[in-house]
Structure 1
Amino acid sequence: MPTTTRTRRVSPGLYKLLLTTHVAVSVSWLGVAASKLAIGLMIEAADTQERADALFLAMDAINIVFPVTAVSTLISGVVLSLCTKYGLLRYYWVATKLLLSIAVIITSVQIGPRITALMQNGVQEAPLRALLALTITHVLMLIAATVLSTYKPWSRTWLGRRQAAKLVREKVAA
């Protein structure tokens, strides 16, 4: 597919670097979320409190990487979208990915620490189930973002349609 200034605003080499970076950090983010889910399920199945506490410490260690991968994914996605024909708000699938990413980050920051605080004095069943539900939701949201990246469904947003119409008017006028 030929590259034109309308489809990409950066060189092919820089585009590939941005795309590779975004894919790498977003897959890492999904991996971190899936790891948290696996550890959470192991905590649920733990036969002793000591084992559950040790697994909870492992989950806490993984939580250190979560914000780094989340913010890196968000930043690389925004930069990548601004360097391509898709733009940040021109297509519904890109805007939806942005909203999913922001929702995972916000719920992680707002809900995750509250659940974790409830569990600090030993793993308890109700907060653990809430943490598992939150983690399952995050994994599903990140998988949905991955599917959107692959299939690129839906049409342009109102902003995208407006910009496309403007380009057509400029072509006709020229």
Structure 2
Amino acid sequence: MSYRLSLKKKQLLITIHVISIISWFGGVFCMFMLGLYMLNSDNGEQLYYTLENMHLVDVILIRYTALVAFLSGLALSLWTNWGLFNYYWIVTKLILTIVLILFGVAYLSPWLSQLLREADQGRSLALINAAFLDKSYSLLGGAIANIVALAFMTAISYFKPFGKIKPKLNKSKS
């Protein structure tokens, strides 16, 4: 028989899960707002320090809270009656969470690091560099995609659409 959480442990894990998602969502929204502010920088110092703050938000508010949200969601699925592969909404959230984390690790964080290096070297000249601006808009697009995906995952957690995954029945031939 698999492990099941007691009510108190389940409530604690749900609290951790919800707080981590709120923090993740807040961090992504903050990144988006700082990204808009960055594009309207008046000088190189403002550009650099805005990107430095974005990097700080990425490291503190997004990376670890996304990981905690993933792990706590996994634990809630495995240690409650919901199960990991019993409902389409849970599988959808699992896939989207993994995609968002991998997209952040593979693209968003490296883009941000590159923008920070370029702003450190070129300061206000970076804002007239087409490659810098393209990467900045890509970073903003990534933030928007994260906001939409996190809002969608929140909605399906509440409404629980799509139904239960029905196991395939093996029909034996006689």
Match of 1:121 in 2: 118
1:162 positional shift: 2.6
Q: 2:159 aligns with which of 129, 151, 159?
A: 151
Match of 2:70 in 1: 74
- Listed as ranges, the gaps of 5+ residues in structure 2 are 120-125, 127-131, 170-174
Identity of matched residues, % = 28
Q: 1:10-46: CA deviations, max 9, x gaps?
A: 2211111111111111111111111111111111122
Q: 2:41 aligns with which of 46, 57, 60?
A: 46
* Greater length-normalized contact order (CA 8 Å, ≥ 6 residues apart): 2
Q: 1:55-89: CA deviations, max 9, x gaps?
A: 00100111112211111000000001112222111
**Structure 1 range deviating more: 96-105 or 40-49:** 40-49
Q: 1:105 aligns with which of 85, 95, 101?
A: 101
1:95 positional shift: 0.5
The alignment's TM-score, normalised by the length of structure 2, stands at 0.82
1:114 positional shift: 3.5
CA distance in 2, matches of 1:15, 1:114: 36
CA distance in 1, matches of 2:113, 2:21: 27
CA distance in 1, matches of 2:152, 2:67: 18
- What pairs with 1:78-93 in structure 2 (closer than 5 Å)? 78-93=74-89
- Listed as ranges, the gaps of 5+ residues in structure 1 are 1-7, 166-174
1:128 positional shift: 0.6
CA distance in 2, matches of 1:113, 1:12: 38
Aligned length, in residue pairs: 154
The alignment's TM-score, normalised by the length of structure 1, stands at 0.82
